[in-house]
Amino acid sequence: MDEFFFDKLPCTSQSTPNPRHETVQVNVSCPQIDPNVGLGTDQDSPYERFSNRTIDESQEHQISSRIDDIGKKVQDLVGNINESRTMDLKIMDNFRDKVSEKVGEICGQMKEHMYSLYDETSCAMQATIHELTTVLESCRQLTTELQAVSQALTELNKGLAAEQ
């Protein structure tokens, strides 16, 4: 009957998933039933104590079978938990991939929009620079003409002053 009890093995159940461990192992620990100790209440009569001490093979088989059933149910539950955790990890990985893809997509759209704004502002700046260049050229021409007129007036003034 010792083969059905795992009280010498440590419990390795894990309630919080660890990223490095995707599976959980649970060892079922059941106290060993001593046939010399009664199974009833603490206040058994001597007759009950004697009758409880004698466990026949049928009862032992039933107990062993129940322990096996409980162990199988526990292992099934642990298996279901492990499958659920594996599925959770797949969902999170899929979500991360989709978010990364969407962020990359949005960054690409923002980059394209930024470049189109650069193009628009570059065109506007070129037009302004062209207009400024035209105005500065006009100013240079006017300055040259003004100097020529000023010099002509200075010569005329000298000529008038000399005649007087």
Supply the pTM of this predicted model: 0.45
129-137 mean pLDDT: 97
Dist CA 127 CA 112 (whole Å)? 23
H or E stretch at 70: helix 57-163
pLDDT at 105 over 90: yes
CB-CB neighbours of 49 under 10 Å? 14
Helix (H, G, I), strand (E, B) or coil at 161: helix
Percent of the chain with pLDDT over 70: 66
| Nearest alpha carbon to residue 60 among 88, 83, 39 | 39
Question: What is the band of 88 on the pLDDT scale with cuts at 50, 70, 90?
Answer: very high
